[in-house]
Amino acid sequence: MNQPLQRHRDELMSEASQVPVFLELEPQADPGPVAAELARQGVWFSSVGAAGRRGFQLQPHSVKCDLGALEAIEGVAAVYSRSSGRPLLDAQAGQPVLVAGRPLGGGAAPVLAAGPCAVESRAQIEEAAAEVAAAGGALLRGGAFKPRTSPWSFAGVGRRALGWLRDAADRHGLAVVTEVMSEGEVEAVAEVADLLQVGSRNMQNFALLGALGAAGLPVLLKRGMAATVEEWLLAGEHALRGGARGVVFCERGIRGFDPSTRNLLDLGAVALLRHVERQPVLADPSHGAGRRDLIPALSRASLAAGADGLLLEMHPDPARARSDASQALLPAELRALTQDLLPAEVTT
Ligand code: PEP
Ligand code: MN
């Protein structure tokens, strides 16, 4: 409650109401019909009265509603709302983020980003790039630097792999998305990337988020495995405040209780980001499920929920993959999936 309530202004009228909103009643108004109209609009609210003002408090997570329409309800004297605390994301809402000149989100056709978990060799990423292009992909993914739970696991080839990734992408007309794990690597990664990936484990690494701006690139912000949507959005606000040229969110599953899948792909969050927050959002069913057999169904579900694209792991030879082998699609599986899913202009 440290921000003053403000009378809403015209520019707020068409925006989603995701911040607390207070409807003040006219002094003689009967609250009954106003409450009935709010219920009819599907808004969640509670009745409040203090300091001589009677009215309704709308829940911060209430459904999207037009503040102007609320003010027009008979008996409502005024509508007050608080600023969202995410002014930079608010400015991005409904707009596409440009990735190598291509619009992502904001109503643009869904895009495919695909490739191996890790860039392992020049030959591997070259073969992967050819397959991604054949499947209609727009972006080639692959980590040169890999965050691994165990310090003994393969952690990526490092800087050498960045050049292989860029060369392979260029040969097949693809853009590059790859992870940057620390502030010290921003410059090197930015030299080859079109979209800077911030991994789940770094979602709230505020020093890193603040340092990304120097690259002059958009950011792909993966959701932390125990992050609320609000924390995720605010991490995006950090990146924008640091100077990032747009933030694309990526749902990759949160920690669940059931080991049947690696994570719990939160499609409710995808729908919320797309339809309520109006932010560009990709879904990553590969890390969400951790197993390749579920990727087609979860990809379909992600697009149905509103995802602006998919981030998929595919390896030319999954049996030899040095990380995330069980969730890597075979090249033919990727092709079959995209033919089925993405619009014709993307897959031709
Ligand atoms: C990845 O994309 O390979 C990756 C490490 O993802 P996440 O940060 O979501 O675990
Ligand atoms: Mn991976």
Q: What CATH number does the domain containing 24 carry? A: 3.30.70.1140
Residue 252 Cβ contacting ligand 1 at under 6 Å: yes
**pLDDT tens, position by position, 308-348:** 999 999 999 999 999 999 999 999 999 999 998 876 545 44
Provide mean pLDDT across the span 65-91.
Answer: 86
Q: Ligand 1 center to residue 204 CA distance, Å?
A: 14
User: Of all protein residues, whose CA lies closest to atom 9 belonging to ligand 1?
Assistant: 200
Q: Are residues 133 and 16 part of one domain?
A: no
Q: Are residues 266 and 146 part of one domain?
A: yes
Nearest-atom index, ligand 1, CA of 202: 8
Q: How far is the C-alpha of 225 from the C-alpha of 255, rounded, in Å?
A: 6
For residue 203, the ligand closest to its alpha carbon is 1
Contacts 24+ apart (CB under 8 A), 144-148: 144/118, 144/119, 144/178, 144/179, 144/189, 145/179, 145/180, 145/181, 145/185, 145/189, 146/117, 146/118, 146/179, 146/323, 147/179, 147/181, 147/199, 147/201, 147/202, 148/323
Residue 245 Cβ contacting ligand 1 at under 6 Å: no
Nearest-atom index, ligand 1, CA of 143: 3
Q: How far is the C-alpha of 241 from the C-alpha of 261, rounded, in Å?
A: 35
Residue 222 Cβ contacting ligand 1 at under 6 Å: yes
Task: Name the domain boundary from 52, 81, 110.
Answer: 81
Q: Ligand 1 center to residue 50 CA distance, Å?
A: 49
Domain CATH for 284: 3.20.20.70
**pLDDT tens, position by position, 218-272:** 999 999 999 999 999 999 999 999 999 999 999 999 999 999 999 999 999 999 9
Q: Ligand 2 center to residue 26 CA distance, Å?
A: 57
User: Of all protein residues, whose CA lies closest to atom 1 belonging to ligand 1?
Assistant: 117
Task: Name the domain boundary from 48, 81, 114.
Answer: 81
Q: Is the pLDDT of residue 32 over 90?
A: yes
Range of the domain at 118: 87-347
**pLDDT tens, position by position, 274-301:** 999 999 999 999 999 999 999 999 999 9
Contacts 24+ apart (CB under 8 A), 201-209: 201/147, 201/225, 202/147, 203/227, 203/231, 203/232, 203/235, 204/231, 204/235, 206/235, 206/238, 207/183, 208/180, 208/181, 208/182, 208/183, 209/235, 209/238, 209/239, 209/242, 209/244
Write the CA distances from 127 to 279, 296, 311, 320, 332, integer angstroms: 33, 22, 18, 14, 13
The chain-wide mean pLDDT, for the chain, equals 90
Q: Are residues 240 and 298 part of one domain?
A: yes
Q: Are residues 340 and 226 part of one domain?
A: yes
Specify the range with the lowest mean pLDDT, choosing from 49-63, 99-113, 115-129, 317-331: 49-63
Q: Ligand 2 center to residue 115 CA distance, Å?
A: 10
Residue 223 Cβ contacting ligand 1 at under 6 Å: no
Q: Ligand 1 center to residue 200 CA distance, Å?
A: 6
Q: Are residues 95 and 20 part of one domain?
A: no
Task: Name the domain boundary from 46, 81, 116.
Answer: 81
Q: Are residues 129 and 257 part of one domain?
A: yes
Q: Are residues 103 and 59 part of one domain?
A: no
Residue 315 Cβ contacting ligand 1 at under 6 Å: no
Q: Are residues 32 and 177 part of one domain?
A: no
Q: Are residues 177 and 49 part of one domain?
A: no
Q: Are residues 95 and 76 part of one domain?
A: no
Q: Ligand 2 center to residue 330 CA distance, Å?
A: 15
Q: Ligand 1 center to residue 100 CA distance, Å?
A: 21
User: Of all protein residues, whose CA lies closest to atom 3 belonging to ligand 1?
Assistant: 117
58 pLDDT band, cuts 50/70/90, is confident
62 pLDDT band, cuts 50/70/90, is low
Q: Are residues 93 and 73 part of one domain?
A: no
Residue 79 Cβ contacting ligand 1 at under 6 Å: no
Q: Ligand 1 center to residue 93 CA distance, Å?
A: 25
Q: Are residues 342 and 225 part of one domain?
A: yes
Residue 117 Cβ contacting ligand 1 at under 6 Å: yes
Instruction: Please give the tally of structural domains in the chain.
Output: 2
Pairwise pLDDT comparison (36 vs 52), residue with the higher score:
36
